[in-house]
Structure formats: structure tokens, C-alpha cells
Amino acid sequence: MRIVHSFEGRDTTFETDRGRVVIGRAKPGVAIDLDLTPDMTVSRPHAVLMSEGPLYWIEDLGSAGGTLLKGEEIKGKGRRRIQPGDAVRIGVTTLRLQAAENPPTLGGAITQTMDAGAELFQGEEAPGREMSRRLALLYDLPIQLSGEGRLDTLLKAVVERTVAAIPGAARGALLVKDVATGQLLLKAHAPAGDPAVSVSLARQAMERGQGFVWRRGQDADVTLLLGNQVAESGLYVPILWKNEPLGVLCAVNFEAPDAFGVDDLRLVIAVGQYAAMAIVQRLMQEELRTNANLMTRLLTNFSPRVRERLLANARTGRLRLGGQKSEVTVLVADIRHFTRLSAGMDAEDVVDMLNDYFAALVDVVFRFDGTVDKFIGDAMLVVFGSPEPDPQQHDKAVRAALGMQVAIQTVSRTRAARKQTTCEMGIGLHCGEVLHGFIGSNERMEFTVIGDTVNRATRYCEGAGPGEILMSPQVHQWVWRSVLAEPVSVAIKHEGELPALRLKGLRS
């Protein structure tokens, strides 16, 4: 079964021998055969495509956006018959089922082969006049490839230049092996229209590491069709990098069995080597971007200003494992009566509620240069003065706590207007010496704070009522000139009364 799907003007080919293909986006616990990510309007799962002998059927799996078959909505109508070439609309992606490409009739034979990793011109051999003319068309190919930003545009340029450089090439195509599944994905073909390529011949070129010229005949079960046309000859070259096949570049001719010669084979191997370098370069760039994004995500617990300093340390090799002892200010915020609130809610609604509140709270924390150490269920642990020292940590922690309570009220008003469950939080503040830093290994490191100061901040949080902020006398002694507070006490099991101050606001 072959399915060509198009998203934002980019065509991708999916091939499988299975008779049932589940279409959608990846979801834990659900097997998706054809993943249409990054189309975020596609459900997970969305639809299923089935084959029964020569017949094909498609059925919507209760998707959110529905499925259009030739413009008709089929959601809730069971399975519907689909013909090769029919347009299916899923989300904003268009799919077309293609007919089987290898009818078991005409066959073919490989006539010329060449090692794709060998030198193209050996000894005294030199390209002739005709070969020189065609090579001249490709002299600027490395410059053109280096100027292309997108990989799909780059690969299309490779195919177009190949077809232009070889007189016998009526059509060309380039396939790249998917690293995860090993399937050959159609990345580019030229000219416009349906591609003409045999997957079996492409795999043969990759397995052998050889480029070859194929000619239609009776002694091999390969037939290459394009509409009503039958290919008479083809040229297949593996795209190799360090002797590992990345994909295949091919060209076909529908008129002459001897359309391709050894010079054409040399030429396409040379183009394939250009393509391999370009693909690897783009893959390395993508890996670098991924690693950079991963590092950024690992540092999402830190405010933007602290994050920049940590990234600078990482670039210079100064971001290392290890901890240090110093005084920090710890803030613990916890939802009041969370167990009772969440008892009557669906799991997804609980997660949405936590995300609504925590997203707003993190914005406030970062505004005052705080570091989110961790989320613990319905609570969050925040540190000020770490990993970078901050002489204003106490004042910033107090202002962050006040800002967080304001943010909670704002989120609650929005959720109440939508008839959604709202909540209130208690916040506790304490300062003292802790051990803080990055622990783990070079492959997996996490920021953490260890010490009794964290436990004491948790006690103040537990004693705070809905909408209240309790701070320790140790914090108050740093900020007493700028805050309004009243003394209270917190009852702690096994420890008696704990002195505290209820933060009421800032002095004008």
C-alpha cells in the first residue's frame, strides 16, 4: 500500500505491506502507522485505511475534525470505499492512495553496475567531450546546494539538475531512508506529476552499494509503470556516506532500453555524492539545533536572565556537576484542599487546571529571577539566590509571593467565567543555608536544593490558609522596612508552635 500525503506543499510517500494502516498523530499506548505530525489538527488516532484483496476502505475513528473523502464528510458513517487517486482530507493534510507499482508481468534485467564508493575516473581515463558538456551543467551544483536552506528544496534541486544533465532521463526521483523505520521516503521528484521509481530496485542499489543501469526484460519480476507508460530503462545509484546508504537517486526512460550508459552512471554517482554531503550537513545542523533546544528545555526552570548565564557557562565548559553551600530563600506554594477539589474532576481537567495556574505562577517567578526547582503534584518549590547569588533574593521572594497570589486570582476569575473549577493557594517563605547545584551525570544532570531550609519553608506553606503568605522571622529581618506583616504562629506536629509573620502587602 502506498500513500502520498501533502502538508504545507510538501509531499511525502508512505509505503507498507500491511493491510491495515492507522493514521493520526503519536500517542502513548496507541499504535500509529502513518504519523501526520506536525499537522496539529490531526487527532490521535484519526482514521484507518484497510485493504481487502483489490479493494480499499477508509473509516474515521471518531476524530475531532472529521475526515473528507472526495470532499464528503465520512465521520460517523462507517467504512467507505476508496479508489486509488481519491483525495482524502485529514486536518489540513491531503492524502492520496496510489495503485500498486509492481504488476507481476514484464520484468527486467540489470545491464551495467558500478561501485558507488569507487573513484569515478581511474588511471589515464578522462571524460570525453559529451561527458564534459554534461559535467559543466553540474559545476555550480555545490554552490547551489550550499545556498539552499531547506533540505526538501535542496533535494529537489539535485533531482532537477540530474534530469537536466542526462539526455536520456525523462523523470528522476530521490528517496531517503527513514532512520527509525528503514522505509524509503520520497523526498523529491521531477518533473511535476506522479513519480516513477521502483522501491525494489532502490533497495537493491542500497544493499549492494552499487549504481546500476536496469533494462526492461523477461528475467526479473520488476515492472516500472507511470500511468499507461512502461519504463524501458532506469538508472539507480545509492547515496552513500562513509559506506552507509542514506537513500537512492534514480532516473528512468520510457522509450529506449539503451538510454543510459556508463558515463551517465558515473555522472549520477558523482551527483549522489554531492547529495550525501548535503544531506549529512543538514542532518548535523538539525542535530545541533536539537541539542541546543534540548539544552534550552533543560534550563526552562530558570529565569531568562539566569538561563543566559548558564548557557554561557555551558558553552565555555564551566557548567559542571557539583554543589555549593550558601544562603538562599525558598518559596513553597501549594493548592489548598486539592484532594477534595480533584476528586470529582476528570484527569485531563485536573491537568488543565494545574497547567493554567502553574503557567501564570512561573511567569511571576521568572519576573523576579526565581528558579523553579520542581513541581510536586499540586505544589511548586522555588528558590531565590541560586544557582547564581543574588543580594536582593529576600526582597524578590516576597514580591514574587505577592505577585503569585495576584496571578492566582486572575486565573481564577478567567476559569470561573468559563464555569471551570478554581482553587486557592497557600505560600510559605524561609531562608537559610542549603546545598544547591547540579547533580547526576554529564549525560543527565538536574538542579536541586538540599537542606532543612526546604523543610522549614514547607512547614510555613502548610500553615498558610487559602490566599495567605506566611514567612519566617529569618526572612522578615531582611525585608521588614518594605513590607506590612502581622505576627502569627504555626502549629507543627511534634515540634510545637512555629513563629511566623503573615505578609499583608508592601509599604507604600
Nearest to 252 by CA among 220, 211, 213, 203: 213
Contact predicate 298/438, CB 8 Å = no
313-322, 362-371, 399-408: least confident range: 313-322
Residue-wise pLDDT tens digits, 441-455: 555 556 677 789 999
Please report the pLDDT score of residue 428 as a whole number: 96
Contact predicate 107/227, CB 8 Å = no
Which grid coordinates are listed for 206?
542500497
Q: How much is the pTM?
A: 0.43
Angle between helices 304-315 and 262-298 (to 10 degrees): 130
**Side chain identity at 477, as an amino acid letter?**
Q
- SS3 state of residue 288: helix
Per-residue burial over 90-109, b if 16 or more Cβ lie within 10 Å, else e, is bbebebbbeeebeeeebebe
Residue-wise pLDDT tens digits, 287-329: 666 655 555 555 555 556 555 655 555 555 554 545 678 899 9
Please report the pLDDT score of residue 292 as a whole number: 58
Question: What's the half-sphere exposure (Cβ side, CA atoms, 13 Å) at 482?
Answer: 11
Contact predicate 49/74, CB 8 Å = no
**Does the pLDDT of residue 388 top 50, yes or no?**
yes
Provide the pairing of β-strand 20-24 with 34-35.
parallel
Residue-wise pLDDT tens digits, 146-155: 655 677 888 8
Contact predicate 254/228, CB 8 Å = no
Please report the pLDDT score of residue 220 as a whole number: 44
For the segment 352-378, the average pLDDT, to the nearest whole number, is: 90
All structural domains of the chain, each given as residue ranges with its CATH number in brackets, are: 2-98 (2.60.200.20), 108-290 (3.30.450.40), 312-506 (3.30.70.1230)
Helix (H) or strand (E) holding 381: strand 379-384
Contact predicate 49/97, CB 8 Å = yes
Please report the pLDDT score of residue 412 as a whole number: 94
SS3 content of the chain, % helix, strand, coil (to 5): 30, 35, 35
Residue that has been written with the C-alpha cell 519480476 in this structure:
221
